[in-house]
Amino acid sequence: MITILQQHSAALLVALPLLFAFLTPLTAKLNAKLSKLVIFIGLALITLTAAIVSFDVFSTGTKLYVMGAELPSVAKPASLTIPVRIIFEIDAFSAFMILIAALIAVVACVYSLRFIKESTSKYYSVFFLMLAGMFGLLSTGDLFNLFVFIEVLSLASAGLIAFRHNEVESVEAAYKYLIISSLASLMILFAIGILYGQYGLLNIAALAKALRFSFVDVVALALLVSALAMKAGSVPMHFWVPDAYSRAPAAITALLVVASQACLYALFRISFTLFGAFPLIQLIAWAIIILGLLSMFVGVTMALPQKDIKRLMAYHAISQTGYMLLGVGLGLLANNSAMAPFGLKAMEGGIFHIMNHAMYKSLLFLTAGAIIYATGKRNLDELSGLAKKMPFTTIFFIIGAAAIAGLPPTNGFASKLLIYESAYMFNPLFSIIAMIVSVLTLVSFVKVFCAAFLGPELKELADVKEVPKSMLLAMLLLAFFVLLFGLFPSFVVKTIVEPAANALLNQAAYIGAVL
Amino acid sequence: MIENIHFIAVALLIALGIYTLIFKRNLIKIAMGISILASGINLFLISLGYRAQGIAPIFTNAAIAASEVQAKMVLPAPQALTLTSIVISLAVTALMLSFAIIIYQKTGSLDATKSRRLKG
Distance, CA of A224 to CA of A230 (rounded, Å): 10
Minimum distance, in Å, between the CA of residue B14 and any CA atom of chain A:
10
Minimum distance, in Å, between the CA of residue A472 and any CA atom of chain B:
30
Distance, CA of A359 to CA of A374 (rounded, Å): 22
Confidence grade of residue A146 (pLDDT, cut at 50, 70, 90): very high
> In chain A, whose CA is at the least distance from the CA of B87?
A148
Q: Are the Cβ atoms of B106 and A171 closer than 8 angstroms?
A: yes
Nearest to B118 among A169, A183, A302 (CB): A169
This model of the complex carries an ipTM of: 0.92
Q: Are the Cβ atoms of B102 and A171 closer than 8 angstroms?
A: yes
Q: Which domain holds residue A162?
A: 2-514
Q: Are the Cβ atoms of B102 and A162 closer than 8 angstroms?
A: yes
Percentage of chain A beyond pLDDT 70 is: 100
pLDDT tens, residue by residue, B8-66: 999 999 999 999 998 888 899 999 999 999 999 999 999 988 887 788 888 777 777 77
Interface A-B, measured as beta-carbon pairs within 8 A, has a size of 89
Contact predicate A342/A426, CB 8 Å: yes
Q: Are the Cβ atoms of B92 and A178 closer than 8 angstroms?
A: yes
Q: Are the Cβ atoms of A148 and B75 closer than 8 angstroms?
A: no
Chain A CB contacts of B103 below 8 Å: 168, 171-172, 175
Q: Are the Cβ atoms of A189 and B41 closer than 8 angstroms?
A: yes
Q: Other CB atoms closer than 10 Å to residue A106's CB: what's the count?
A: 17
Chain B CB contacts of A168 below 8 Å: 102-103, 106-107, 115, 117
In terms of Cα–Cα distance, which of A47, A31, A150 is closest to A108?
A: A47
Q: Are the Cβ atoms of A169 and B95 closer than 8 angstroms?
A: no
Minimum distance, in Å, between the CA of residue B104 and any CA atom of chain A:
9
Select from B7, B85, B87, B98 the residue whose CB has the most chain A CBs within 10 Å, as the one to mutate to test that interface. Answer: B85
Q: Are the Cβ atoms of B118 and A148 closer than 8 angstroms?
A: no
Residues in chain A: 515
Q: Higher model confidence: residue B49 or residue A395?
A: A395
pLDDT tens, residue by residue, A103-137: 999 999 999 988 888 888 889 999 999 999 999 99
Helix or strand or coil: residue A383? coil
Overall domain count for chain A: 1
CATH topology of domain B2-52+71-107: Helix Hairpins (1.10.287)
Residues in chain B: 120
Average pLDDT, chain A: 89
pLDDT at B120: 41
Nearest to A175 among B38, B85, B96 (CB): B96
The DSSP result for A409-467, as a single string, is: TSHHHHHHHHHHHHHHHH-HHHHHHHHHHHHHHHHHHHHHIIIIISSPPPSTTTT--PP
pLDDT for residue A513 is more than 80: yes
Minimum distance, in Å, between the CA of residue B68 and any CA atom of chain A:
18
Q: Are the Cβ atoms of A183 and B41 closer than 8 angstroms?
A: no
Distance, CA of B3 to CA of A501 (rounded, Å): 47
Q: Which amino acid is at A186?
A: L
Window from A11-25, A330-344, B16-30, B33-47 with minimum mean pLDDT: A330-344
Q: Higher model confidence: residue B109 or residue A172?
A: A172
Chain B CB contacts of A247 below 8 Å: 118
pLDDT at B116: 58
Contact predicate A171/B103, CB 8 Å: yes
Chain A CB contacts of B106 below 8 Å: 168, 171
Q: Other CB atoms closer than 10 Å to residue A251's CB: what's the count?
A: 28
pLDDT tens, residue by residue, A83-108: 888 889 998 999 999 999 999 999 99
Q: Any bridge partners for residue A178, and if so which? A: none
pLDDT tens, residue by residue, A291-312: 999 999 999 998 888 888 999 9
Select from A84, A147, A182 the residue whose CB has the most chain B CBs within 10 Å, as the one to mutate to test that interface. Answer: A182
Chain B CB contacts of A147 below 8 Å: 85
Give the contacts of A366 (CB within 8 A, at least 6 positions apart).
Answer: A107, A111, A250, A251, A254, A396, A471, A474, A475, A478
Q: Are the Cβ atoms of A168 and B116 closer than 8 angstroms?
A: no
Chain B CB contacts of A193 below 8 Å: 41, 44-45, 48, 81
Helix or strand or coil: residue A344? helix
DSSP tag of A468: P
Distance, CA of B8 to CA of B1 (rounded, Å): 9
pLDDT tens, residue by residue, A43-70: 999 999 999 999 989 888 888 888 877 7
Q: Which amino acid is at A60?
A: T
Select from A143, A160, A163, A179 the residue whose CB has the most chain B CBs within 10 Å, as the one to mutate to test that interface. Answer: A179
Give the contacts of A51 (CB within 8 A, at least 6 positions apart).
Answer: A99, A102
pLDDT tens, residue by residue, B50-89: 887 788 888 777 777 777 777 778 888 888 899 999 999 9
Distance, CA of A91 to CA of A72 (rounded, Å): 16
Minimum distance, in Å, between the CA of residue A464 and any CA atom of chain B:
28
Q: Are the Cβ atoms of B115 and A172 closer than 8 angstroms?
A: yes
In terms of Cα–Cα distance, which of A476, A477, A493, A473 is closest to A485?
A: A493
Confidence grade of residue B91 (pLDDT, cut at 50, 70, 90): very high
> In chain B, whose CA is at the least distance from the CA of A149?
B88
Distance, CA of A203 to CA of A513 (rounded, Å): 12
Q: Are the Cβ atoms of A183 and B34 closer than 8 angstroms?
A: yes
Contact predicate A486/A408, CB 8 Å: yes
Residues of A contacting chain B (CB within 8 angstroms): 144, 147-148, 151, 155, 158-159, 162, 165, 168-169, 171-176, 178-179, 182-183, 186, 189-190, 192-193, 196-197, 200, 202, 242-243, 247, 302, 306
Q: Are the Cβ atoms of B84 and A172 closer than 8 angstroms?
A: no
Chain A CB contacts of B78 below 8 Å: 196
The DSSP result for A49-83, as a single string, is: HHHHHHHHHHHH--EEEETT-SSTT--S-TT-SS-
Minimum distance, in Å, between the CA of residue A315 and any CA atom of chain B:
10
pLDDT for residue A80 is more than 90: no
pLDDT at B114: 66
Contact predicate B102/A164, CB 8 Å: no
Q: Are the Cβ atoms of B44 and A190 closer than 8 angstroms?
A: yes
Q: Are the Cβ atoms of B41 and A193 closer than 8 angstroms?
A: yes
Please list the helix, strand and coil fractions of chain A in percent, rounded to the nearest 5, in that order.
80, 5, 20
In terms of Cα–Cα distance, which of A64, A61, A135 is closest to A99?
A: A135
Distance, CA of A75 to CA of A10 (rounded, Å): 14
Contact predicate A193/B43, CB 8 Å: no
